[in-house]
Amino acid sequence: MTTPTLLKNLSFARMNEGIGPLYPVVDDIALLKRLLAFGVRTVQLRVKDANHPNLSTMIEEAVKCGRLCNAQVFINDHWEKALAAGAYGIHLGQDDLLSADLNAIAKAGIRLGVSTRTADELDIAMSLTPSYLAIGHIFPTPTKQMPTPPQGVNQLKTHLQTVSGRFPTVAIGGIDLSVAADVWRSGVDAIAVVRAVTQSNDLAATLQAFAEVLTEDARNERTTFV
């Protein structure tokens, strides 16, 4: 996959507060609101069904809630509706980069997050000067069919060396509390979680548990690259 001329020489807005350490990805407005109420600063609304009857309303509500809470709410995939709603940010996969109007997104000052699964995709994403890079999937995940095998923490570290701090980074894919510490020590800026929050029976306790793992002390224990 090569980078079309359309995608070159773009630069997307920076994130006001960084991205991490926890980045929940949800498909439910009520849950998104609860996360914001608990003080989560960055959330993604990911509704897979493009024909969902309430999709536009959900996106508009997510954008509104983000503004009210002064939070960083990203909309996954549905860039036209997100652009129309004045979203804080949009998250796109590699295929979507070829169809989305990236110039319009950049000119609107909307942040852009980009998914990457391989070294080549990482290079393409970095050429866009995005607001952040998502690297995955790290572990097996049932939430989405993936065309590539899990990368694991060691490959994540390799990708982070390539990025070399130029962009905020997010690890995603099959991450729960049992592996969060290992992923965090890789040096990534944020950990994206899906089932860990969508299937939580006690959201407050889940968020507190992640907060205890994703601490400054844990940052100091991260691997130093040489």
Output the furthest CA–CA distance in the chain (Å, rounded): 51
The token pair at 197 is 């929050």
- Burial call 79-95: b when 16+ CB within 10 Å, e when fewer: bebbbebebbbbbbbbe
Question: What pLDDT was estimated at residue 4?
Answer: 44
pTM of this prediction exceeds 0.75: yes
Question: What pLDDT was estimated at residue 156?
Answer: 98
Predicted confidence band of residue 224 (pLDDT cuts 50, 70, 90): very low
Q: What is the pLDDT of residues 99-156, one digit of tens each?
A: 999 999 999 999 999 999 999 999 999 999 999 999 999 999 876 677 778 999 999 9
The angle at the Cα of 176, spanning 175 to 177, to the nearest 5 degrees, equals 135
pLDDT above 90: residue 177: yes
CA 23 to chain CA centroid, Å, is 6
The residue with tokens 């952040």 is 132
Q: What is the pLDDT of residues 6-60, one digit of tens each?
A: 455 788 999 988 998 999 999 999 999 999 999 999 999 999 999 999 999 999 9
Question: What pLDDT was estimated at residue 144?
Answer: 66
